[in-house]
């Protein structure tokens, strides 16, 4: 006797979980724009030559002059620190052979200041005293936790609004309190604005712009 197998069961409707009431799951995003109140500048001196001792002395002379000029601008010594110091041998390659040609000494300073509007002046002053490497300028806020919380609150609100929109389109009533709310890992969180300066000129214009603080959540709401 021949027969036909019964059709497979239909997949559960969205939001259904065995033993649990139907629910709506959404994600929410929150972004807060912040005017930066701190600038971080990395600059210094790179010197090259055949003899190491005079090369180090020349590099130290430039860095000392740069630091003195920054102190005269009113920047605290506590806000000036060495970010990188390196001595690297330099080689040429001729006919498959490695030929020593000298050394490179790199000394970079990290300057932190709340005088964001004077960033260009700080760079120009350092360059005028011999700094020949400006590897980066970044802007940040001194209250990251405050703005992270604001962005998180916006993300929760955004998730609620999405769930309400879906519930209204389905003709159902959303629960007042979500079953859960979970912060989503911010692996791709926007980083502070950065600017690279290859060569500074008088009155170098540096624009801090705005920072974007981002948060995201996932939430599950039951409905009836």
The per-residue pLDDT for range 40-89, each reduced to its tens digit, is 999 999 999 999 999 999 999 999 999 999 999 999 999 999 999 999 99
Residues 6+ apart with CB under 8 A from 2: none
What pLDDT, on a 0 to 100 scale, did the predictor assign at position 55?
A: 94
Burial state string for 77-109 with b = 16 or more CB within 10 A and e = fewer than 16: eeebeebeeeeeeeeeeeeeeeeeeebebbbbb
Of the chain, the percentage scoring pLDDT greater than 70 comes to: 83
What pLDDT, on a 0 to 100 scale, did the predictor assign at position 193?
A: 42
* Ranges 6-15, 60-69, 173-182: which has the least confidence: 6-15
> For residues 85 and 107, what is the distance between their CA atoms, to the nearest angstrom?
4
Q: What are phi and psi of 69, to 5 degrees?
A: -65, -35
Q: How confident is the model at residue 189 (pLDDT cuts 50, 70, 90)?
A: very low
DSSP E strands, the chain: 23-34, 38-49, 80-94, 97-113, 133-140, 180-183, 194-195, 211-222
| Residue 137 · residue 194 · CB < 8 Å | yes
The whole-number average pLDDT for the span 101-126 is: 95
What pLDDT, on a 0 to 100 scale, did the predictor assign at position 202?
A: 52
Q: Is the pTM of this model over 0.75?
A: no
Angle between helices 119-128 and 52-72 (to 10 degrees): 140
């Amino acid at each position: 006797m021949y027969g036909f197998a019964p059709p497979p069961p239909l997949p559960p409707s969205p939001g259904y979980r065995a033993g649990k009431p139907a629910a709506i799951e959404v994600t929410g995003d929150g972004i807060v724009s912040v005017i930066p109140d701190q600038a971080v500048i990395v600059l210094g001196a790179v010197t090259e030559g055949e003899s190491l001792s005079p090369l180090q002395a020349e590099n130290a002379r430039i860095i000392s002059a740069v630091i003195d000029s920054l102190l005269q601008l009113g920047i605290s010594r506590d806000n000036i620190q060495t970010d990188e110091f390196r001595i690297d041998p330099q080689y040429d390659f001729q006919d498959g052979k490695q030929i020593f040609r000298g050394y490179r000494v790199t000394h970079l300073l990290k300057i932190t200041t709340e005088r964001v509007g004077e960033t260009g002046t700080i760079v120009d002053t350092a360059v005028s005293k011999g700094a020949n490497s400006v590897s980066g300028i970044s802007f940040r806020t001194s209250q990251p936790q405050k703005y992270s919380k604001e962005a998180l609150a916006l993300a929760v609100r955004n998730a609620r609004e999405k769930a309400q929109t879906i519930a209204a389109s389905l003709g159902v009533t959303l629960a007042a309190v979500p079953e859960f709310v979970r912060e989503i890992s911010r692996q791709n969180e926007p980083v502070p604005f950065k600017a690279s300066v290859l060569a500074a000129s008088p009155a170098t214009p540096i624009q801090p712009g705005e920072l974007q603080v981002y948060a995201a959540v996932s939430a599950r709401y039951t409905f009836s």
